[in-house]
Structures are given as structure tokens and as C-alpha cells.
Structure 1
Amino acid sequence: MARLRAAGCVFAEEEADRLIGAARDEQALEAMLVRRTAGVPLEHVLGYADFAGVRLAVADGVFVPRHRTELLTATARALLHDGATVLDLCCGTGALGLVAVRGFARVRLVAADIDPAAVACARRNLAAVTAEVFEGDLFDPLPAGLRGHVDVLLANVPYVPTAEIAYLPEEFRVYERRTALDGGPDGLDVLRRVAAVAPRWLAPGGALLTEAGPDQLPAAHALLRAAGLRPATVTDEDTETSVVVGRRGR
């Protein structure tokens, strides 16, 4: 705990307990402690992350799911029904899709990410739910038969403006893939690409869900409207998180 505190870990006691619980012996514990005190994210050191009550495998460099994003999964669950089809784009570890479909029957879950390490994690985390985890750029690797059948499209795209990457905490900026963070000059470049073709993949009445920063909401709504989707925002004041929902007409 003293070494963790000295390294600036705010929750040193909790982290010490988790490291001790994960280490198979003292040598492994020392190796993990060295990595953590050097600034490596705790989840990368442990090899797992906890999100919305689910434990997920996480590898070095892979985007760690944020607890604030639980709002996105809760919003998705309110739109889901048994027998639905869910697409998780930019899926990372597969956390959002896994939590969104939990408890629903006969749900088809499809996931995709451009990062091979993330895809490997997602395949591991989603093995009991789906074998449809694809590697590639957005919609490119998806089966053509999915087009027009997606009821809920989770698109947790990178939305940090490029100029703001330098101000992110070191754990994100240094240890997570740039492609998982950088949303271009205004943070909306990837969302533009998703929104432009999302209506072709959504079923009638289907919805696209994504996060956006407070300053990005007007522009996010505008680009969804331009794509033919009806936008709305769900906000959690406690976490200062906003989820933008774009619905396709029936």
C-alpha cells in the first residue's frame, strides 16, 4: 500500500487487495506491483475489468470500459426485447453488448472492432453468448445478411477531439490505443461514418446509441437527423454522461 500511495494511487488499499487476490505467488505480485506503480492501468495489470456486475478479460492496450458507460447499456436494455438483434460496433472487450443482452432470450449479438487485441478479448468474453465477433473497420467485416435487421446498434465510438487527447489522464492517453480515443478535430468523425450508413443496417424502428460530450450534442443530433434518424438524448447528471439515441422510422 505504501508503494501504491507513493506512486499516486488514490485507492491504494483497495488496489493492494485486488493485486494480492490476483497474484499466484509473491514473485507474480511483485511484477504486478512494478507495472502498476509505473502507471499501467490496474485493469491491464490484473488482466480483467469489472463493468456493470460483469468481469471481463482485458489485455494490454485495449480500451478499459468506463463505469459511466453503464448508462448506454441501461438505455439499450430499455429498448430491447426477446428475439432482438444487437450490433456492438467498436466493441472493445465486448462489455456493452454482453451487458445489454443479459437476461434476454433468443437475442442475436454481433460485435466488431478494428483492433485485433480487442477482438481477441471480445471473443473470449462473449464466447458463451455469440461466435459472431468480427475484426475490421466498422461495418466492413459484418455479414451482409445482417443489413436491415439490427434492432439496437451500440456504437461506443471514440469521441475525444484530437487536440484534447493530450489532456487525458496518463492511464488512457499512454496505455490505450489511440484509435479507441481519437474522434478527430471535433470528436465526431467516427460517428459521422457510422450514422451515414446506420439506417441501412437498422431494422424498422431500430435505434443507434452512442455517447457524446455536452458540447457535442447539438452537432451529434444534426448529423443523425441528416442521416434520417430521429435523435434524442438521455443524460445522467451524477456522472455527467449523455447518450444520444437515433431512431429509424417504422
Structure 2
Amino acid sequence: MKSLLVAALLACTATQALAASDCILDNCADQRPSPGEPSVAPAPDAPAPRQWPGPRRGGGAPSGDFDFYVLALSWSPAFCATGGSQRSSAQCAPGANPGFVTHGLWPQYQNGYPSRCGGDGFLPFSVLSGLGDLYPDQGLARHEWRQHGLCSGKSPSGYFADVRAARDGVAIPQAFKGPQEDREVSPLDIQRAFIDANPRLRPGMMAVVCRRGTFQEARFCLSRDLRAFVACPEVVRQGCRSQSIVMPAAQ
């Protein structure tokens, strides 16, 4: 009789543990916001994410195995002002310098990222021909597919549909749409402008990247289904540490 009572108690405890860890899309029952409340990243006491020691190349990571996406939007005037015109004459031609352009959508682990996963690196022309308004250069689109797209676990058309959805899902602040003169800004100014333009975006969910005192790009961390911004401490730590940077004007 005593053994039966002990077994029942253990079964009850296991059931309660299962219920407590029952999470959907990293949104656990005791962490879910009230109806109408914006989505937020998992609480700090959520189960620890998988760790990855660093980038894996040459097919070292299985395709489709990642935690979240990073959307990188490059500031095209900075690219062209720092030698980019030698690599992409089309992007840097007079009058063709638009402002923010898509750099890439990168599968990411909480620590590290997969790279050059196994699969067919060929990008069909039927897909490539539809990317003219998505990437500033076809060579960049091909590179992004081989370097990052293969790790998404999706077909070329499916991956680039995600790239388009991610890009369209981030609102560009009005102040950054074609400035006509160089300006001096702080990384915090850029972050605040994006947070103001995107109500669900919070500090800790994006990074501002600079190089040699010049603003390079903004990186946003998105859930795998692209429906929410997510916290990404490692990506944020790689952001710009300068107090003041130059944002070159559109040409």
C-alpha cells in the first residue's frame, strides 16, 4: 500500500513539472502576456538555450538547426564611402545610393552561428531575377544564399521570401530616409529612433554596428517565424561602443 502511495506521488510531481515547462514558441504559461500586451523575450529564468561554440563551416551544422534570425540592414552610403564603389558600381552609382539596404538574414544560435551548411549552393535564375528590389547586388544575393540561406533549412524561394518579410517588417525611421548631408550621431540615437518606429522593439533586441567611427548597419534579432523581436545578448555585445559616429549622407 505504501509503495502505491509513493508511486502516485511521483506521478503527480512529474505531471506538475511537465505543466510548468509547457512552452509554446518560448512563451511559457507563467510568462505569457495578457491579451493585447506586446510580445517580449523569454524571462531570464526560462530554460537555458542551446549553446554553440562558434561558427561552423564546411557543412558542420545541420541545415535548419538554429535559434533565431538576425536581419542586417546596411547603411549603403557608408558602404560606398569606404571602398564599396570598387566592389559594387551599380549600388554606388550616382543617384542609386538609397540609404538602408538588405545585407542578409542570418540563422543564429544564442552563442555562435551556423555557416555554409550542406545543400545545393546554386541559386536558380528564376529566384535571383526577383531579388532586384531586395538586394543591391546579385553577387551579394548569391553569397548570402551559400553562406546563410542554406542553413535555414528552406528552399531558395522560401528563404528569400523570409528575407523580404523580415525586411518589410522593420520600419525605417523617417529621419533616416535619404539624409542629404553627413551627420554625427550616437549609436544610442540610432537605436532610439528604431525603437520609436517599431513599437515591439526593445533595448537588447538590436545592435548598431560601426567601423572606424562610421555607422555601418543595424542588426535586428527576430524569432524563427519572424513574428517577434527577441533578445540576443551576444549580438548586442558585438555592437558599436563609440559615443559618436558619422552617418554619411545619401548620394
User: Please, what TM-score do these two structures have when normalized by structure 1?
Assistant: 0.26
**Larger RCO: Structure 1 or Structure 2 (Cα < 8 Å, ≥ 6 residues apart)?**
2
Q: Which has the larger radius of gyration?
A: 2
Instruction: Identify, as 1 or 2, the structure richer in strand.
Output: 1
